[in-house]
Amino acid sequence: MFQHIFEKRVLKELAAVMLLLNSVVLVLTFSLIRDNSLVIKEVHQDIVELCILFTFLNLLKIFLRQHRENFICCSTSSRP
């Protein structure tokens, strides 16, 4: 009889420890998910900024190609 009561008590204590550990794991998981979402937002912002910069540089390259003759003409005429 005593052994049966002892076994039930041990099982209840083990169950309580398992619930506590599961709670800790759940909190850590949510923390990691939050951190990962913040990192994803930062990386997304960096990608957007790089795309904007790349687009600007391509537009500048196109502009310079189209107006190359004007720049060459102005630069040679300004020489003494």
* Vertex 52: Cα angle to 48 and 58 (nearest 5): 140
pLDDT in tens, 44-53: 999 999 999 9
pLDDT in tens, 13-52: 899 999 999 999 999 999 999 899 999 999 999 999 999 9
Sign, Cα dihedral of 31, 36, 41, 43: positive
pLDDT in tens, 53-76: 999 999 999 998 888 877 666 655
Please give the radius of gyration of the chain, using alpha carbons only, rounded to the nearest integer.
Answer: 34
Cα–Cα distance for residue pair 32/41, rounded to 1 Å: 14
pLDDT at position 37, please? Answer: 92
pLDDT at position 72, please? Answer: 66
pLDDT at position 49, please? Answer: 95
Cα–Cα distance for residue pair 27/44, rounded to 1 Å: 26
